[in-house]
Homo-oligomer: A and B are copies of this chain.
Amino acid sequence: MLRTHTCGELSMQQNGMEVKLCGWIQKSRDLGGMTFIDLRDRYGITQLVFNMDSNAELCNEARKLNREYVVRIAGKVTERSSKNLKIPTGEIEILVEQLEVLNVSETPPFTIEENTDGGDELRMKYRYLDLRRPSVRANLELRHQLASLIRNFLDGEKFIEVETPVLIKSTPEGARDFVVPSRVHNGQFYALPQSPQTFKQLLMVAGFDRYYQIVKCFRDEDLRADRQPEFTQIDCEMSFIEQEDILKTFEGLIKHLFKKVKNMDMPMLPRMTYAHAMKNYGNDKPDTRFEMCIRELKSKDTPLQLPAGKFKLFDEAEYTAGIVATGCATYTRKQLDELTEWVKRPQIGAGGMVYIRYNTDGTIKSSIDKFYTEEELRKAIQNMGAAEGDLVLILSGSESKTQKALSELRLEMGNRMGLRDRNTYSCLWVVDFPLLEWNEESKRFHAMHHPFTSPKPEDVNLLESAPGEVRANAYDLVINGVEIGGGSIRIFDKKLQSKMFEILGFTPEKSMEQFGFLLNAFHYGAPPHGGLAFGFDRLCALFGGSDSIRDFIAFPKNNAARDIMIDAPSFIEKEQLSELGLSITNR
């Protein structure tokens, strides 16, 4: 070892000890007779002292050291005269006796500090320097800690980790598969898995009983903000269980992580049906850190809660609903205009916004007070739960669009009102998802989760008559409005699985060609099984208190799916293309 200790472990316990340390020069202060240097490694920072009086030559050497030089020193641990109790090594410093420069460094393109001056692209290009910043390193240490806790928890629950293949078969359903041309079998391709779904089901057929894997998955899609073409899943499956067993097992895992990482005792996770979530939050991944639920003024089930014939917009709308922002009656006209513009942005998509201020003196001020009397409005918003001092914001239009816009507005108001604290965590299961959703483009039903999800037994009889109403044994874990993962109880009966493919528009030939191996496996004693997958990158970001998964990936790609550090993807040599039997038709 080039060192006896790391830069994070020396304290008064080692006072007087001769030690050797290695690390990077974080910063240097030259105070005339003395030079102080902060030496940094992964474990911390230790202060080095060079004294002009006792060793002028060495001190002059030290003065030549620039930031990010790599050095090795030998010296004696000494008590500091002015201690820094904010860091673990702050009671001591090292009186340096020997100094060896292991490597020099050019001036980095940005400062290696918490508040760096480097922009996103620059830091991505020099990711290996960005990774030196303690907060970025801490993110990856957290990731490691979580992976380790998850593995040990699941090991303890008798799950076994099995590696499933990365070079698999492309499915036309997976139009966003990355494919890999075979050199040995020209013209044929492997695909990279979007998930190990079929393999983990085969492991259940194989009797593995409890499987998990922390595994890379791939999706070649147009990247939305904060998506990555390669991402990591915690993938799990269990046999001889019911939905309740899955929920209990994995809320055990989540509680374990909160306890170990955050020292928080999470209560049992509440369950909310999909229908309830959509009705009250306009969203199947509600942020339940705060209430402010959607209250309907008009819907399929509810006639307009205001007198008819007075305001055309409400009379004609399919759906009208709003939220009550507690204590926000003080919002100014300017604030309300700005909020109206906000909901009208294309990303939110509302046509406009109605506000009703319920002032503390009991009066009402609204953008629709020329249509309704104060009494009519007061009654309506009191029914929505508003009290004096509150502000009611109402959107109107088609149900699905308006729910979506109200959900966004609710979250935005949550932000503005400071109700979405990163250090507060609210977890829940959303259950009873629809099995199928109608796709207007393809004019057929698509699987809401995937084609292997089982319908609820009590809804199976609706498969023919009313497919859209069939509920699935499917569940999502939602934390702070983020979908951390989800899963389902699977179909394990070959007839039901074939039926499902039929509903999804597969011919029997096509379903055999694509999923024959799974359908065949179901001929040989498949057990009842189910499972789920969590997005590990997202889970790390959540525990790290960040919205960006990229901060928790060592070498992420940018929004164009490009690794700008290594410059990939890139062109390859002609010979390589020709060996693969491929040519490029358009660039």
Contact = CB atoms under 8 A, between A and B. Distances in A.
Contact of A165 (B230, B239, B524): B230
B179 A181 contact: yes
Interface string A136-165: 010011011001100110010000111111
Contact of A172 (B493, B573, B587): B573
Contacts of A216: 163, 166, 216
A104 B166 CA distance: 31
B572 A578 contact: no
Contacts of A557: 165, 167
Contacts of A203: 128, 131, 554
A562 B185 contact: yes
A197 to B, nearest CB: 12
A563 interface: yes
A152 B151 CA distance: 10
A99 interface: no
A205 interface: yes
Nearest to A71: B525
Nearest to A554: B162
A327 to B, nearest CB: 45
A218 B166 contact: yes
Contacts of A226: none
Count of this chain's copies in the oligomeric assembly? 2
Interface in A84-106: 102-106
Given A216-B166, A525-B69, A569-B182, A207 B41 contact: yes
Contacts of A163: 143, 216, 232, 553-554
A105 B205 contact: no
Nearest to A169: B568
Contacts of A517: 565-567
Contacts of A578: 585
A576 B176 CA distance: 9
Given A22-B240, A163-B553, A525 B209 contact: no
Contacts of A102: 527-528
A498 B92 CA distance: 41
A554 B166 CA distance: 12
A131 B211 CA distance: 13
Contacts of A179: 180-181, 572, 576, 580
B2 A208 contact: no
Given A168-B566, A177-B576, A188-B569, 18 more contacts: A1-B245, A2-B241, A3-B240, A6-B209, A68-B525, A69-B525, A105-B523, A105-B525, A162-B554, A167-B557, A169-B567, A175-B576, A183-B220, A189-B569, A189-B570, A189-B572, A202-B555, A578-B585
Interchain residue pairs A-B with the least CB separation, the first 3 = A105-B525, A131-B206, A169-B568
